[in-house]
Amino acid sequence: MQYDDSIDNSRKYLRHALELIGKHGLPTDPLNYCIWYEYASGKNGALNAAIDNHLESKGAFSEAISRQFFNQYIAGGKETVTTLVREELKKVFAAIIGAIKTTNQHFSRSENNLETINESLVPSLSEADVERLVDQIKHEIKNLESSSTSFKEQLQQATHEIGQLKSKMSRYRNEALKDPLTQIDNRRGFDKKLRNAIAEANATETSLCLIMADIDHFKKVNDTHGHLVGDNVIRMVAATIKDSIKGKDLAARLGGEEFAALLPDTPFDGAMKLADNIRLTFERLDLKKKSTGESLGKITLSFGVATYKKDEVAEDFVHRADVALYQSKETGRNKVTGADLHRP
């Protein structure tokens, strides 16, 4: 992120950002300040649209949503993570280069001192002179050992720091692919793994199925019981889908109340059965608020299922599953619809 705002504009954006943070009951931390300053400036159209849509549909902001929007619309995922790690690597390499230079200086100084001692080894030396030179040699050897030990320790420290950076980059990369509310993959993670699954299905000529799912009348749940209850319902749906799959299968939250399950090596009939089992799980549930015991009513899901067609592009594959999901919604909800039913 780069800001080239005038002082007056910066102050105006700051005041507006702080007002918005207070209005939505969020902590005044760097992440929220960054989000709402960006929003106040109006320079990030995608972020502003996402915030406006979220407020219109849900009316409230949570810290989980703040993190999600920051990762999606400001942090830029991999690019920003790479930048951060690159800067830290620069510091590590600067320390290594400094250690090499310091060690070389010590070695060069000791080399000069030892050359001087060597030149002093003439036949006319007295016993006292020889003893003095021996002490000098021992001193230089200790200096060399000390420099070597220090250099080794610095290299070990650098190796340790590089290992930590690799772990940090891996963690950041994984976090960028996760939905903060449910801890299953987000849209970015889904898209990445969908591409890999399609490549494998084409290469091995194995089956690949996609289930799209959507919570029926979810806005009513939010409006009636509040967004905290709505978030808990989303978490429960995510956990149920995740617990229903296995092996290389993937569960993802694509946004809002929409979910997906990617099923490599799964036939169409198996995917249809899995979707219906998940549907029945929720149809049979009688969900209640923990705090009051109040019933939430029936929470149902609609599903669309598609089987991959060889050499089909990802967008078409997802679109067919989406169309099937839409058909489930249009024909009564709480049902599973198969896309194309195996037609080539």
Active site residues: 257
Measured distance CA(9)–CA(281) in Å, rounded: 54
| Closest residue by Cα to residue 78 from 210, 10, 177 | 177
DSSP-derived letter for residue 184 is S
| Closest residue by Cα to residue 214 from 331, 299, 318 | 299
Among all chains, which residue has been given the structure tokens 């801890």?
Answer: 183
Beta strand 301-307 with 336-338 is parallel
Measured distance CA(294)–CA(275) in Å, rounded: 28
Among all chains, which residue has been given the structure tokens 């080894």?
Answer: 121
| Closest residue by Cα to residue 328 from 275, 289, 265, 288 | 275
Task: Give the other-Cβ count within 10 Å of 223's Cβ.
Answer: 14
Helices (H), 120-244: 127-176, 187-204, 218-225, 227-244
Q: Which residues contact 38 (CB under 8 A, 6 or more apart)?
A: 1, 44, 47, 73, 74
Measured distance CA(120)–CA(306) in Å, rounded: 88
Q: Which residues contact 290 (CB under 8 A, 6 or more apart)?
A: none
90 exposed, middle or buried (CB, 10 Å; 0-12, 13-18, 19+)? exposed
Task: Give the other-Cβ count within 10 Å of 307's Cβ.
Answer: 26
Cross-strand bridge partners of residue 287: 297
